[in-house]
Amino acid sequence: MSPVVVVLLLFAGLSEAAGRILPLVARRPGMSRRKAVMLLLCGAAVEGAVFALWPLTSWTLAELLVSPPLSGVASLTWTPGMAAPLLLAAILAFPLLGPLLHLLLFVGVGAGLVTPLAATTGVGWWAAAGCVAVAGVGLGVTVEVVRRLVARLSGVAPRGLLA
């Protein structure tokens, strides 16, 4: 992965994390700035890692669909052209423009992953779209479960947020 892609993914992760953490910090008047910045940076790293895993997870799912295993073919990775719309989606959806807009933007980014995935694995476009969707939803649900577990265990979440 090129340094440009890493920076794009980290900025997308930072924007995504800010949309989740800033409302939490606003509800907790006693939280120190240092703790808020640390939460934001940790969240950015986690979100960036989840974004980085999206093509790899999609590739792995598509590989399960192909009868002869894919050998000697490089897996799908982010390119600057594919990661730039992800950063744009994260910035446009920054904080709380609405879950529907956020979902539509990520569907658009996921659609951008489908064609390269279909071309590199040889599966059909719809099968590749299914792999990208399942990978995106699976990673999203996984990170949300971990986020809620960490918030519950650390006592960071305000009352009623995790009910």
Please state the φ and ψ torsions of residue 135, each to the nearest 5 degrees.
Answer: -65, -45
| 56 in Cβ contact with 116 (< 8 Å) | no
Instruction: Walk along the chain (163 residues) and give the pLDDT tens digit of each residue.
Output: 788 888 888 888 887 777 777 777 777 777 777 888 888 888 888 888 888 888 889 888 888 887 666 665 566 777 777 777 777 666 665 555 566 666 777 788 888 889 888 888 888 899 999 999 999 999 888 888 887 887 677 665 454 554 4
Output the pLDDT for position 104: 74
Cα distance between residue 129 and residue 126, in whole Å: 5
Output the pLDDT for position 129: 93
HSE-CB of 5 using CA atoms within 13 angstroms: 14
Q: Which two tokens stand for residue 62?
A: 């598509």
CA-to-CA separations, 71 to 19, 52, 68, 121, in angstroms, rounded: 40, 22, 9, 10
Output the pLDDT for position 93: 57
Cα distance between residue 42 and residue 80, in whole Å: 23
Domain boundaries, the chain: 3-154
- What is the pTM (predicted TM-score) of this model? 0.76
| 77 in Cβ contact with 59 (< 8 Å) | no
Give the number of other CB atoms < 10 A from CB of residue 105.
Answer: 19
Output the pLDDT for position 162: 47
Give the number of other CB atoms < 10 A from CB of residue 155.
Answer: 7
